[in-house]
Amino acid sequence: MSRQFVVSGLRPTGRVHLGNYFGAVRNWVELQDRYPCYFFVADWHALTSDYADPSKIRQATFDAIADWLAAGLDPDKSTIFLQSEVKEHAELHLLLSMITPLPWLERVPTFKSQQQELNDRDLNTFGFLGYPLLQTADVIIYRAAFVPVGEDQASHLELAREIVRRFNHFYGPVFPEPQPLFTATPTVPGLDGRKMSKSYGNTIPLTAGADEMRALVMTMFTDPNRIRRSDPGNPDICNLFQFHKLFSDPATIARVDRECRAAQIGCVDDKKLLAEIMIEILEPMRARREQIDRDPSIVWNALRKGNERARERASETLGMVRKAMQIDFPELR
């Protein structure tokens, strides 16, 4: 087991879908055997954009943790916690804000792009500008070496490294520079062929029940040029086939490829086949999720334990930070 620490988080967006699973969670499950890992739900980050309607955050947090556990994250191996329960993140965020030049935050590309994309609300807030600084605090408070994230988070990690250099330059070497860990992840298309994303409403939940899975797979887009059953299809542009590549065995993939091109298998037949394969492969995770829903204390207990472990490491770091910044009064403790 390495002594280098791994940290990653996700905003609470609800049930884990196949895009989240293949893009992040599956990778976390592998990392937990090799590194001390800290994985958390970033509920404060959810507030940076959803402050006017926080009504979904609580359930989304529960669903995320429940699915992480169902997917194989193990609270005995990883520290699984909730950001807002580890107040040390907030103190570090505040202290870092003192040394963070405004232009560094204003030029983070997601700041402007997200403001444009989420134009139904006012994101000209202090909290939203500070999003990547809070993320910096999330990472460096564990003195993390690696942060497994998608490419979309590259600029946030870049900022984290710049802040670390500035901090260490002023106050001495407290923090290592965190490196992103971009792992090769398959692109998972959504039901409509665009990238699978909650905001497109095209997701498939990792722990979908059998009937839900069958119904969802039936709505998948296939080769748009294949209109009649007798038309030969092109698996290369068929969404369904991408899922075969993720779930089916090589022989099935080869057979579907051949029979689709020869119009021997129809799209509906193929959907029925694929749905049953996905249901079977995902069954252990679905069953585990059902067990958690029958006993939600599994989630709360995992979090209580994780929060505690996270606080230990976070407060150790914060002690070093307070000393380095000379905001430290041991006489008062």
Q: Quick check: 41 binds ligand TRP (CB under 6 A)?
A: no
213: tokens are 């899975």
Q: Quick check: 11 binds ligand TRP (CB under 6 A)?
A: yes
| Phi and psi at residue 148, to the nearest 5° | -70, 115
CA–CA separation, 78 and 179 (whole Å): 19
What single-letter amino acid sits at 8?
Answer: S
Q: Segment near ligand TRP (CB under 6 A), from 9-17, 119-127, 281-289, 297-305? A: 9-17
Q: Quick check: 45 binds ligand TRP (CB under 6 A)?
A: yes
Cβ-contact 167, 99 below 8 angstroms: yes
Q: Quick check: 147 binds ligand TRP (CB under 6 A)?
A: yes
Burial 250-270 (b: 16+ CB within 10 A, else e): eeeeebbbebbeeeebbbeeb
Kindly tell me which of 220 and 303 has the beta carbon lying closer to ligand TRP.
Answer: 303
Kindly tell me which of 195 and 255 has the beta carbon lying closer to ligand TRP.
Answer: 195
CA–CA separation, 6 and 267 (whole Å): 43
298: tokens are 């599994």
Q: What are the residues whose beta carbons fall under 8 Å from the beta carbon of 323, sequence distance 6 or more?
A: none
Residue 268 beta carbon to ligand TRP: minimum distance, rounded to whole angstroms: 36
Q: Quick check: 79 binds ligand TRP (CB under 6 A)?
A: no
* Chosen residue from 5, 9, 188, 190 binding ligand TRP by CB under 6 A: 9
Q: Segment near ligand TRP (CB under 6 A), from 5-13, 29-37, 58-66, 268-276? A: 5-13
Cβ-contact 25, 37 below 8 angstroms: no
* Chosen residue from 10, 66, 73, 96 binding ligand TRP by CB under 6 A: 10
| Phi and psi at residue 179, to the nearest 5° | -105, 140
Residue 2 beta carbon to ligand TRP: minimum distance, rounded to whole angstroms: 18
283 to 302: interface string for ligand TRP, x by CB under 6 A: --------------------
Residue 201 beta carbon to ligand TRP: minimum distance, rounded to whole angstroms: 18
* Chosen residue from 69, 96, 139, 310 binding ligand TRP by CB under 6 A: 139
174: tokens are 């407290």
Binding site for ligand TRP (CB under 6 A): 7-11, 42, 45, 135, 138-139, 147, 149, 153
